[in-house]
Chains A and B, each alone.
Chain A
Amino acid sequence: MSSKQDRNRAGAIISIARLRKVYAPGFEALKGVDLDIKRGEIFALLGPNGAGKTTLINIICGIVNASSGKVTVDGFDHATDYRPVRAMIGLVPQELATDLFETVWATTTFSRGLFGKPPNPAHIEKVLRELSLWDKKDAKIRTLSGGMKRRVLIAKALSHEPKILFLDEPTAGVDVELRKDMWQIVRGLRDSGVTIILTTHYIEEAEEMADRIGVITKGELIVVEEKAELMRKMGKKQLILQLASKLDAVPPALAAHNLQLSADGLSLTFTFDTQAERTGITSLLTDLRTEGITFRDLSTKENSLEDIFVDLVRHAA
Chain B
Amino acid sequence: MNWHAVNAIYGFEMSRWGRTLLTSVLSPVLSTSLYFIVFGAAIGSRIAEVDGVTYGAFIVPGLLMLLLLTESISNASFGIYLPRFTGTIFETLSAPLSPIEIMLGFVGAAATKSIILGIIVLITSSLFVPMHVAHPAMMVTFLVLTSVTFSLFGFIIGIWADGFEKLQIIPLLIITPLTFLGGTFYSISMLPPLFQKISLINPVVYLISGFRWSFYDIADVSVWISLALTLALLAGCSALVWWIFKTGYRIKA
Contacts and interface: CB of A to CB of B under 8 A. Distances in A.
Interface of A: 23-24, 58, 61-65, 82-87, 89, 91, 93, 95, 97-102, 106, 110-118, 156
B27 interface: no
Interface in B89-113: 90-98
Contact of A115 (B5, B7, B98): B5
B248 interface: yes
Given A116-B4, A116-B95, A116-B96, 5 more contacts: A23-B253, A61-B90, A112-B8, A115-B5, A116-B2
B231 to A, nearest CB: 30
Question: Quick one: which of B4, B92, B96, B252 has the most chain A CB within 10 A?
Answer: B96
Contacts of B90: 58, 61, 63, 91, 93, 95, 97
A115 B252 contact: no
A61 B94 contact: yes
Band of interface residues on B: 20 to 34
Contacts of B248: 65
A91 B94 contact: yes
A65 B246 CA distance: 11
Contact of B7 (A62, A89, A95, A113): A113
A97 B253 contact: no
A113 B96 contact: no
Contacts of A118: 4
Contacts of B94: 61-63, 86, 89, 91
B59 interface: no
B95 A95 contact: no
A182 B10 CA distance: 32
A22 to B, nearest CB: 11
A108 B19 CA distance: 18
A117 B95 contact: no
Interface in B1-24: 2, 4-5, 7-9, 11-12, 15-16, 19
A156 B15 CA distance: 19
Given A23-B253, A64-B252, A113-B8, A84 B86 contact: no
